[in-house]
Amino acid sequence: MKATIYHNPRCSKSRAALTFLTEAGTDVTVIEYLKTPPTRAQLADLFHRANLTPRQTLRTGEPEAGPLKNATDTAILDAMAEHPILIERPIVETSKGVVIARPPERVHDIL
């Protein structure tokens, strides 16, 4: 099976999800999303496929999230495209679906 992980190597949850994928024998494409951010359209598609709203995938603890407290999903997507640190991680995509792998074991839902 093939998978794509939008990964931050400094994040323990992201590293754990990547470990689950590799231990399962998955052919993994790793995208360090802070270096190579997904486009706004890609984010919208991933969140739609994960059945999540942009607000549900917003890292609210980041300083850039402060102004987004009452923002629309459109504004949140715009902010995520501009500041990828706002994107909750890790996002894992396979042919079976998309999950935010928090906890990392959620990867098993799409393997």
Q: What percent of the chain stands above pLDDT 70?
A: 100
pTM of the model: 0.94
The question of whether 83 is a catalytic residue gets the answer no
- For residue 99 the two structure tokens come to 């999950």
- Return d(Cα 76, Cα 87) in angstroms, integer: 10
Residues with Cβ within 8 Å of residue 83, at least 6 apart in sequence: 62, 64
- Return d(Cα 41, Cα 110) in angstroms, integer: 22
As a CATH number, domain 2-110 is 3.40.30.10
Residue of 5, 6, 8, 11 marked catalytic: 11
Q: Are 97 and 46 in contact, with CB atoms under 8 Å apart?
A: no
Mind listing the pLDDT tens digit for each residue in 49-84?
999 999 999 999 999 999 999 999 999 999 999 999
Placement of tokens 């470990």 in the chain: 19
